[in-house]
Structure 1
Amino acid sequence: MNQGPSQPMKSTAVLDNVERRDFLKNTFATSAALVLGSFWSRDADAVQSIVKPIAGASFQPNALIKISSDGVVTLISKQPEIGQGIKTSLPMVIAEELEVNWKDVQIVQGDLNPAYGSQFAGGSLSTPLNYDEFLKLGALARTLLIEAAAQTWQVPASECIAAKSKVMHRASKRQASYGSLVEKAATLPIPDIKSIKLKDASQYKLLGSRIGGVDNAAIVTGKPLFGIDVKLPGMMYAVYEKCPAFGGKVVSANLDAIKALPGVRDAFIIEGTDNLNGLMPGIAIIAESTWASFSARKQLKVVWDEGKVANESWDQFSRTAQDLAKQTGTVSLRKDGDVNAALASASKTVEASYSYPFISHASIEPQNCTAWYKAEDATLEMWVPTQNPAAGQAIVTNVLKIPKEKITLHMTRSGGGFGRRLSADYVIEAAAIAMRVKAPVKLTWSREDDMRHDHYRAGGFHFLRGGVDQKGKLIAWHNHFVTFANRVVREGKSILQPGSGASLSGDEFPGRWVENCLLEQTPMETGVPMGPWRAPGSNVFAWVFHSFIDELAHAAGRDPLEFRLEILGDKDLMPGTGERGQAYHVGRMRKVLMEVAAKSGWGKRRFPRGQGQGIAFHFSHRGYIAEVAEVTVSKEGQLKVDRVVVVTDIGSQIVNLSGAENQVQGSVIDGISTLMFPELDIQRGRVVQSNFNEYGLLRMPDSPTKIEVHFLKSDFPVTGLGEPALPPLAPAVCNAIFAATGKRVRQLPLSRNDLRWS
């Protein structure tokens, strides 16, 4: 496949200190509103709409567009908003083709509704799964409005254009507002979607511009948007105490004493399930306020059956990993050539072990859910900050046997997610509690709950060997990955399932590129619950691979950029052969790599001792990203990231330039934070750390002095940006540290490393 032309966008950011009938449905309200709804199909040609009058003036919950007679355009945001800006950017896609003034648009967060199709925020998929369909949705609405105006004026539709929420007739200069046309437009037959013409990207006025987040004003003025803000009349407040050791159960508790405390309404044991991702056993305390419930919890005395996980510790895992590294891997993910023979013939060889700990998601808003079970009709209504509302609905149905059609789930804005809110443990807890409370009840986790009962990013251990020939070319690569896995039952069989992001692919770079390559994986069983953490897998694999590649480049006496370009080669497309089978567009990666080198001045300056540049790239979540970091390390070992240059190729269009820059800048800062500070110690089957005083995160003085963001546009589908810019950051910084000090970072977090030099 040949790549289309790539070119830097004009704007660069610098930051200092759905059958055819199923895709679209239109309904006409008697209040003179044109409403377009959306049903989804993966077949882009299977798109059609119907228009029919409906009774009453209420908005239809399966509608994504509503244009009122007063000209106000209401767009439903169907995806969860977790801070990635999708509530602003996806409506922009509709508004662009609709040719509507952005000031005329109001955005409403949609509830969970099967009419909307997929509703989740994860894998940077919200944009690529919706972009093309949303363009067609906007274009279809615009086409109907133009036809309505043309018939009203009795002129050909081809003589009319739409712009700024109006339709204009070129010859006569007549104009009609969208609001004045909706009644007529709603009576028109729907044209074949294939006849709907989309705008050329060169005509875009909204896409690619800077648009502030639609919730920004409400956020900075403290208006209620988040799950933790939900308040209902007569609401009760709950906390839920679980065993400190993962998987433990309640034996007994002083429930009578707790019920007698001021403000407490009830306290009871929930038996739970045996599934780590299900309803964990625990004790619920219901009170008149959050303060009363939290205060009562301090008086709780529980006898726990801690179970077998109480024997697990990080020190034990580390010792076991070292022993397993001496054995052949349990699973061979890739075996090309003869690694041992290649290493024996290599001019230079390098061996190294890399490790990283479990870490928490640590989103600012702790997990919470408000639930209201109404026994009279056996219905459940929930208000949830979630990345995956369908998972919340499904777990309630599976565990509590409440049919899906009896569950209403409202999505609130989330104060961060990073993958944590793809899980639904806090949702099932709130639902189970609500079934015992004859009132709406809000379950709020404390920060300690959030840190000690997370679904963590898995730790891992990589044991690597590599070799280069006399010309300094990479000829051998061996990675034995010792990972973590939970025991699960699948089709009646007990198996070890690696945690999310804790399973290596045979397609991972540089596996496909090295003639002699052996990739192995060995799981270690644990009861520690694991889940997706921002850019799952890639967030640590990029650090390991590109740090070790850097080691090999220096061993070969090669420039790290030149060495990487040689490994990539000149093939434009590298087909996928492993389990994931994902093709890799080498040409796209070469271009971002060359561009980041040019933008950063790679190799153009001589740095004094204590300062250095590092480079890395990674293909993650459909995005091709390369980064260069410049650092200063004092003789005392204090690190300052002076500058980070990022070049991205995420397809043919940046939707919201402001939001895109924010995502890249946030990825860099989050990447530095995760590199430098956070780690969780496991002792006696429990997490030792409890709050931010023990779990470090980046503070403002440690932020990069400068972050430069550059976008390359290419002729490839538009993709997301919430995750792919994070993985290359850690190796770029660590490689820069080596350039500055000669010290190689092989263990995370960075705080475990002595960077002092003389």
Structure 2
Amino acid sequence: MSIVKDREAAGAALSRRSLNRRSFLAASLAGGAVLTFDARIALAQATGAAGEPVLLTAFIRINADNSVTIGAKNPEIGQGVKTMLPMLIAEELDVAWNQVRIEQTDADDKRYGLQVAGGSTATPNNWLPMRQAGAAARAMLVAAAAKQWGVAPASLSTEAGKVIDKAGGRSMPYAALAREAAGMPVPDLATVPLKPADAFHIIGQPMQGVDTPKIVKGTPLFGIDTHLPGMLHAALVKCPAFGGTIARIDDAAVRGIPGVVAVVPVNSGLVPPGQQDAVAIVADSWWKASKAREKLVVAWDDAAQKQFSTAGYAKQAADALGAAPQADLFKAGDADKALAGATKTVTADYSYPFLAHATLEPQNCTALWTADGKLELWAPTQNPGAGRKEVAAMLGIAPEAMTIHMTRIGGGFGRRLMSDYMVLAAQVAKGVPGRPVKLLWDRTDDLRHDYYRPAGWHRFTAGLDAKGALIAFKDHFITFGADGKPIRAAEMSSTEFPAPVVPDAHLGATYLKTNLPTGWLRAPTSNAMAFVYQGFLDEVAEAAGIDLPELMRRTLGEPRELPTERKGLVFHTGRARSVIDAVCKAANWTGRTGPAKGAGDAVKGRGFGFYFSHRGYFAEVVDVTVSGGTSVKVDKIWMAGDIGSQVINPLNAEHQSQGAAIDGIAQALVWQPVVQEAGAVTADNFGDFPLLRIDAVPRDVAITWVKSDFPPTGLGEPALPPVIPAIANAIRAATGKRLRSLPLQLT
């Protein structure tokens, strides 16, 4: 039995237990959210014949050979969570790692709690709950042994999947106790004892990713690999201009093609209910469905959307920068008056473009609509709970009428937090009931119908006093929004550093209209804000006659906690300074230097960047070589990171940080702006949106961990943002040229 298949029996067991047996654990999260687990995460059920596996809790199955199968509840997107979360459970369950088998659970937030891959939240959200789930199961096994032996549970210990009675000179494997343990009372999760850190034997050890051997062998794991008996295939024709709808369809030529099963108009979720903005062609092979698109004739109602273009945004932004902001995000003192009295002022304009996610696995989803009005999905989703709600709303069914199997995700970076591919596949499946249908986008579909990282423009002004201290700061931020508010992923924090620590500061914003759907890109908002803020602050430091690390130290001031706009989340200036000092020591940073001579006409430079992102503090130093006056190569990256008191899986932490650095290089030097004309994106393939090649990756990304006395936090995002400004600042050091827009291009 799998953990997924066992859930109905476990649910029945839950209904047999009295509700007053429930134990609630509320874990406070940054941002004010509360994650609640009830007794289901420690619910035992004792069904099945002797010798069969026993589902001890919602996450833990004890097998007859004394191996333990642990359910990994969160979507696996390459961030290693499928290995990390079971490590937490296994540690407190007190089994050896070689006893552990891992299975991906289905999506069921009522049973498993929040299941999402985004915002580097898996570690802070689950650090205690997953450990408590393992500790509760261990306590139940100990209680079962104590009952059999007639001793006090406190007299027993555990090790490597065994309960040990040292006084009695005996032990018993978990497998022999599991059935009786399943009937033991559920411990109070809020008070169940947890191991001290010095007793960890799994947490803190480098563990290979559970799927790595399968990936190397090419074992089908991803959504695109889904294959079911009798499966059909669907290709999509979508309105090029976002927000446009179908005016008329002529599908006669398509329906006459052998192998074509259906033509289904669908709604992506971007247009009002009752309208459609896409057409799915369903056939017995994807190639037939894709080729049939050439014969489909669709007239679009998209006149209102054709006004939007990249060139138009740039002109509007230029005009807006010269005017006052529409909205105030932060105000302290009188920035204009302070600037007028400053000894020295620095002004600069920075910008960055719309970006696509360009996941290697294009969007896909397989769906089966059954005769009884139920839906089954196989989806590479980062956010299955949101997908369930959106699909249910689109189809008019109850969320409970849906089963979502989470496949491994072949690249997400925030793209698969959106659920359009699930919503579309569900509608297609309803149009051909009784047969599974895989909806698959090609590369052009994927680049032209993304949820894009929004572009932005900034006009900065800073004032310095006679001693070079930062006394005034202004930023007029131009981005996209509606009704005086930013659209998704276009936000800027009202506590963006250094505004809260500058005596006179003003952050203002102006919002432009767009028809492009926007979404979160890895290290959302931070990937852009780190570049513009740390790039500009490097200019301020240069004007003050110091380097950026020193300006940061002076501006950060004494160690203290500064509030952020997210409830419960603070910015600790001491933690920031610690990573700055650590990376400068590791890289032997000696202050601001000019260019160094390289081979031939090459010149070398070194740059620094810092950013606080998704609860993580990272400072980074980058060495670059500029050849031929235009070609930039990153030679080495040093990073120092503070993600709390514990690095759960050091091997994966290293890989995540290195991967973040590589993503940062791509955003800084390689990814091209998403271009829009007449309301539509023009990108066709990777020729228009190139990815970073292996020869552009530095041979060394050296990582220093700065441990602090704070709960562990995640790593998917925070190592990325500082790389981008560090590269820009290194180019400045090498060439004397200040690049203020992305991608960084010397011409």
How high is the TM-score relative to the length of structure 2? 0.91
- Counterpart of 1:656 (choices 635, 644, 649) is 649
Distance 1:682 1:267 in 2: 29
Which has the larger displacement, 389-398 or 378-387?
A: 389-398
Deviation at 1:184, TM superposition (A): 2.8
Match 2:679 to one of 685, 701, 723: 685
Task: After TM superposition, give the deviation of residue 687 of structure 1 in Å.
Answer: 0.9
Structure 2 residue 581 is matched with structure 1 residue 594: yes
SS at match of 1:435: helix
Corresponding residue of 2:600: none
Cα distance in 1 between the residues matched to 2:517 and 2:690? 21
- Alignment partner, residue 3 of structure 2: none
Residue 656 of structure 2 aligns with an amino acid whose one-letter code is Q
Q: Which residue identity does 1:389 align to in structure 2?
A: P
CA distance in 1, matches of 2:275, 2:232: 21
User: What is residue 286 of structure 1 aligned with on the other side?
Assistant: 282
Residues in 2 aligned to 1:593 and 1:95: alpha-carbon distance in whole angstroms:
35
Q: Deviations over 1:54-86 (max 9, x none)?
A: 467787798111112321211111111111110
Distance 2:253 2:696 in 1: 47
The corresponding residue for 1:372 is: 368
Partner of residue 347 from structure 2, selected from 351, 355, 368: 351
In the alignment, residue 649 of structure 2 is paired with which amino acid? N
Give the Å deviation of 1:614.
1.1
Structure 1 Cα separation of the partners of residues 592 and 242 of structure 2: 52
Partner residue in 2 for 1:668:
661
| Residue equivalent to 1:261 | 257
Q: Distance in 1 between matches of 2:585 and 2:695?
A: 28
Structure 2 residue aligned with 1:430, among 425, 428, 436?
425
Of 106, 114, 117, 1:111 maps to 106
Aligned to 2:524: 536
Partner residue, 1:454: 450
Using CA pairs under 8 Å that are at least 6 residues apart, name the structure with larger relative contact order, 1 or 2. 1
**d(CA) in 2 for partners of 1:416, 1:440:** 24
Structure 1 residues 622 and 263 mapped into 2: Cα distance closer, same or farther (>3 Å)?
Answer: same
Alpha-carbon separation, structure 2, partners of 1:407 and 1:238: 20
Query: Which is worse superposed, 727-736 or 141-150?
Result: 141-150
- The answer on whether the counterparts of 1:575 and 1:583 sit within 8 Å (CA) in structure 2 is yes
Cα 1:497–1:257 shift into 2, 3 Å: farther
Deviation at 1:604, TM superposition (A): 7.2
Deviations 1:654-691 (A, max 9, x none): 11111111110000000001111222111111111121
Separation of aligned partners in 2, 1:368 and 1:649: 36
Report matched runs for 1:595-634 at 5 Å: 595-603=582-590, 608-609=596-597, 610-634=603-627
Task: Choose which of 714, 719, 732 in structure 2 pairs with 1:720.
Answer: 714
Evaluate the alpha carbon distance shift between residue 444 and residue 365 of structure 1 in structure 2; reply closer, same or farther with a 3 A threshold. same
Give, as a single letter, the amino acid of the residue that structure 2 aligns with 1:736. Answer: A
Provide Cα deviations, 1:465-511, integer angstroms capped at 9, x if missing partner.
Answer: 112111111111110000012x4xxxxxxx35423331122201111
2:23 touches 2:189 (CA, 8 Å); kept in 1? no
- CA separation in 1, counterparts of 2:200 and 2:141? 19
1:515 is aligned to 2:490: no
Sequence identity (%): 43
> Relative to structure 1, is the Cα distance of residues 52 and 428 closer, same or farther in structure 2, using a 3 angstrom cutoff?
closer
Return the match for 1:585 from 572, 575, 588: 572
Matched, 1:67 2:62: yes
| Equivalent residue number for residue 22 of structure 1 | none
Q: Which residue of 2 aligns with 1:338?
A: 334
CA distance 1:682–1:664, shift in 2 (3 Å): same
Write the letter of the residue equivalent to 2:578: K
Structure 2 counterpart SS, 1:311: coil
Cα deviation, 1:533-563, whole Å, max 9, x if unaligned, reads: 1111111001000000000110111122111
State the 1:263 CA deviation: 2.1
Deviates more, 1:42-51 or 1:515-524: 42-51
Consecutive unaligned residues of structure 1, counting only runs of 5 or more, are 1-24, 30-35, 488-494
Aligned to 1:407: 402
Greater alpha carbon shift after TM alignment, 669-678 vs 148-157: 148-157
Structure 2 residue 561 is matched with structure 1 residue 565: no
Letter in structure 1 aligned against 2:587: S
Aligned alpha-carbon RMSD (Å): 2.5
In the alignment, residue 580 of structure 2 is paired with which amino acid? L
Q: How far apart are the structure 1 equivalents of 2:423 and 2:264?
A: 16
Whether the 8 Å contact between 2:246 and 2:276 is mirrored in structure 1 is no
Q: Report deviation, 1:462.
A: 0.5
TM-score by length of 1: 0.90
CA shift, 1:171, in A, is 3.3
Moved more, 65-74 or 670-679: 65-74
Alignment-mate amino acid for residue 314 of structure 1: T
Structure 2 counterpart of 1:136: 132
CA distance in 1, matches of 2:447, 2:301: 21
User: How far, CA to CA, are the matches of 1:333 and 1:173 in structure 2?
Assistant: 68
1:9 corresponding residue in structure 2: none
Match of 2:161 among 165, 170, 189: 165
Q: Which amino acid aligns with 1:176?
A: M
Is structure 2 residue 735 aligned with structure 1 residue 748?
no
Unaligned runs of 5+ in 2: 1-9, 15-20, 29-34, 598-602
Tell me which moved more, 284-293 or 632-641: 632-641
- Contact between 2:643 and 2:713, CA under 8 Å: does it hold in 1? yes
Answer yes or no: is the 8 Å Cα contact 1:641–1:705 preserved in 2: no
Residues 369 and 426, structure 2, Cα contact 8 Å, conserved in 1: yes
Partner of 2:314: 318
How far, CA to CA, are the matches of 2:264 and 2:283 in structure 1? 12
Distance 1:250 1:144 in 2: 59
Q: 1:90 aligns with which of 85, 91, 100?
A: 85
